[in-house]
Amino acid sequence: MNEFLYKLRTNLLYATLAVVPWFFLPFTQEYFLTQKFYLLLTVVLISIVLSALSLLINKHIKLLRTPFDRVLIFFSISQIIAVLFSSTNKIQALTSVPWGLAPILTCVAMYFILVNTLTKKGDKNRTMLFFEVGILFAACITVIFWFGPLNNAQLSTQLDFLKNIRFSPIGNVLDVLIMTGLLSAVSIVRVIQNILHSKRPSYVSVIGMLIGLVAVTLVGYRGFFPPEGQQAFQLPPLESSWVASVESMKSLRTAVVGVGIDNYEAAFTAAKPRNYNLSPLWETNFNLASSMILHIWTETGILGLFTFLLIWVYIIREVYGLFAEKDKESKVYAAWAVYLGLVTLLLPASFITLLLTIMLCVGLGQKAYEYNEEKVSVDLHAMPLLYIAIVLIMLGVVGGIGFLSYRAYAAEVYFKSSIDGIRSNNGQAVYNGLVKAMQTNPYIERYHVQFSQVNLLLANNISKKEDVADKDREDIARFIQLAISEAKVPVQLNPNKVGYWNNLAVIYRNIINVAQGAESWTIASYRRAILQDPNNPLLRLNLGGVYYSLKDYDEAEKLFEQSAGLKPDWPNAFYKDRKSVV
């Protein structure tokens, strides 16, 4: 039985390592990182159940001690503290992708499961091999789809994304470049190392080097130099990201524990400098910093930044130790560390980067155990109540997390069905999908934003009828009330995000002529949006338009002047300003 459980656990982990780089499913709004996260979470929960069964049979606990155990635990605690003390919407911060608490804790849990399960010598050699083969397979698919093999195929609406030459099972352009770039770097080092030692490079290394370089070249070129009519991939500006991080230091709480996970966009809009309006990105509010380091600093404060940098201190120490031991894989791990270090420093936070960092820690942790076997072993044969209690706690944790995860995933599936309804022009599917999503997980802000807009659209469509019956008027009133109430939910869940106040203002502005007092609520909502995004010229322009429609020309002129001052190169603001004067 012990051998069966061991093989089951190891085969499950090997399959996961080989599959996760290219795993995706079109069942949620985001096909790639969301699916990878839930796949890893499912594997973590299954592994805990198998570990509980093993404990029940063996009545024995054995844990390996590796250099990264404490620092990863400290890092996890810093993320939990940031959510508890700073995140406004803690439920959404938990499941947020690409950078949420649950994805972070899942990756850390995978570290402990991998290093404590794949303990035999053969297992250690295969761990990184399976993962690299998975990346290689993902890179091959990426290169194939770059040439558009399904461009002329008759596919359903749900599968139309396969015609996009940018499609990759890894994720977006940045995620693809990060993962295939790592494959290239590691494979190149392996090939050079074999040539220098007069050895024949392995097929995996040679193919990985070639496919990786081709994938990086094709995807990078298409991402940053797209065909006419397509938008180039945009990175968050460094200056604004740096300002947001520095601004978070002005309060003791945010300096220590950050603004909270899933709150970066609020920090960005509040801190972005006025000269940001002169850039082509001035209408974009980013939810990620230009650097993973800056993102962690802003969202989780000095505590989160310190623990994350401590992980890298241990990575550098372990890589140096491999060179001291003259390990044959030392140069490979050094290349992996240097590459990921540059990615962490220069590119935005990503679940892919976190996953690759954890896998680097897994490889280094297994290497450290080879040279210095340390483990903690506890015999529980004489304490039956204790091991039974531990097993029950493990199963209870799995049950609780599994139930909550199921509801979170089901809500995403319902929301995706609503999006599919929009594409197929099926209003009933749109409405029912959103209702089910909100009922299943009422804490996700974008569900309520979408539902408010749908209700406003329905009210507008009915009002455009030539003959509006009494029943139609009742429906219009009901849809307007739903639009208002649902638009209020996101600002209650997270009042720091400017987009939700702007959405509420737009809802009220559209019903000024049919709802008493709507103009006051419109103005109040725009005022609150401006408070959260003080250097946004568009908000002031829109509020000025409201005052202009209400014939308050003096207030309108002030706002138009402010808008023009915030963005001097914007003709629209100057036109409105001159028009208000006339």
Query: CA–CA separation, 312 vs 362, rounded Å?
Result: 13
Quickly state the pLDDT bin for 442 (edges 50, 70, 90): very high
The pLDDT value recorded for residue 98 is 82
**Per-residue b/e over 340-367, b at no fewer than 16 CB within 10 Å?**
beebbeebbbbbbbbbbbbbbbbbbbbb
- By C-alpha distance, which of 195, 187, 285 is closest to 539? 285
Residues contacting residue 384 through CB under 8 Å, at least 6 positions apart: 59
Per-residue pLDDT for 576 more than 80?
A: no
List C-alpha distances in Å: 455 to 265, 417, 432, 468, 475.
26, 17, 12, 17, 10
Per-residue pLDDT for 537 more than 90?
A: yes
Cα 493 versus chain centre, distance: 19
Residue 420 CB coordination number (10 Å): 17
The pLDDT value recorded for residue 571 is 67
Quickly state the pLDDT bin for 574 (edges 50, 70, 90): very low
Residue 56 CB coordination number (10 Å): 15
Per-residue pLDDT for 434 more than 80?
A: yes
The pLDDT value recorded for residue 577 is 47
Digit-coded pLDDT (tens) for 124-153 = 778 989 999 999 999 999 999 988 888 888
Query: What is the pTM assigned to this prediction?
Result: 0.93
3-state secondary structure of 214: helix
Quote the tokens at residue 454. 């749908």
The pLDDT value recorded for residue 130 is 94
Query: CA–CA separation, 109 vs 401, rounded Å?
Result: 13
Is 50 in contact with 8 (CB distance < 8 Å)?
Answer: yes
The pLDDT value recorded for residue 349 is 94
Q: Where are the alpha helices (DSSP H) in 59-172?
A: 69-85, 90-95, 101-117, 121-146
Average pLDDT of the segment spanning 250-260:
95
Quickly state the pLDDT bin for 444 (edges 50, 70, 90): very high
Is 529 in contact with 506 (CB distance < 8 Å)?
Answer: no
- The angle that helices 173-196 and 351-371 make with each other, rounded to 10 degrees, is 30
The pLDDT value recorded for residue 242 is 94
Query: Omega into 103 within 30° of 0, i.e. cis?
Result: no
Digit-coded pLDDT (tens) for 168-217 = 999 999 999 999 999 999 999 999 998 888 788 888 889 999 999 999 99
Digit-coded pLDDT (tens) for 456-475 = 998 888 888 778 787 878 88
The pLDDT value recorded for residue 573 is 52
Q: Where are the alpha helices (DSSP H) in 147-237?
A: 173-196, 203-224
To which residue do tokens 């100057």 refer? 574
Residue 405 CB coordination number (10 Å): 18
Digit-coded pLDDT (tens) for 91-135 = 999 999 888 999 999 999 999 999 998 887 777 778 989 999 999
Q: What percent helix, strand, coil does the chain show, rounded to 5?
A: 75, 0, 25
List C-alpha distances in Å: 119 to 131, 248, 580.
16, 43, 74
Q: Where are the alpha helices (DSSP H) in 325-379?
A: 330-346, 351-371
Average pLDDT of the segment spanning 262-278:
92
Q: Where are the alpha helices (DSSP H) in 262-326?
A: 264-271, 292-324
